[in-house]
Amino acid sequence: MNKDKKVILKCLVGSHAHGLATKESDYDYRSVYILPTNKILSLGYKYKGSSWMEGDQHDNTAYEIGHFLQLATKCNPTILEMFRAPIVEATEEGEKLIELFPYVWSPKQTFDAFVGYGLNQRKKFLDKKDNRQNKYAIAYIRTLFNLIELLETGTFSVEIKQEDLKYRLLKYKKGNYSPGEVINQAEKMTDFARISLEECKHKQNLEKVNQFLLDIRKENWE
Rounded to two decimals, the pTM is: 0.93
What is residue 59's predicted lDDT score, i.e. its pLDDT? 62
Kindly provide the residue ranges of all beta strands, DSSP E only, lying in 23-177, ordered along the sequence: 27-34, 50-54, 58-64, 87-90
For the chain, which domains are there? 6-104+205-219 (3.30.460), 107-199 (no CATH)
What is residue 55's predicted lDDT score, i.e. its pLDDT? 55
Q: Report the distance separating Cα 32 and Cα 118, nearest Å.
A: 24
19 Cβ neighbours under 8 A, 6+ residues apart: 159, 160, 161, 166
Average the pLDDT over 23-47 and give the result: 92
- Lowest average pLDDT, out of 2-11, 73-82, 126-135, goes to 2-11
Average the pLDDT over 53-65 and give the result: 73
| C-alpha closest to that of 86 among 166, 155, 7, 17 | 17
Distances (CA, A) of 31 to 23, 46, 54, 106, 117: 24, 20, 13, 23, 21
Q: Report the distance separating Cα 18 and Cα 5, nearest Å.
A: 28
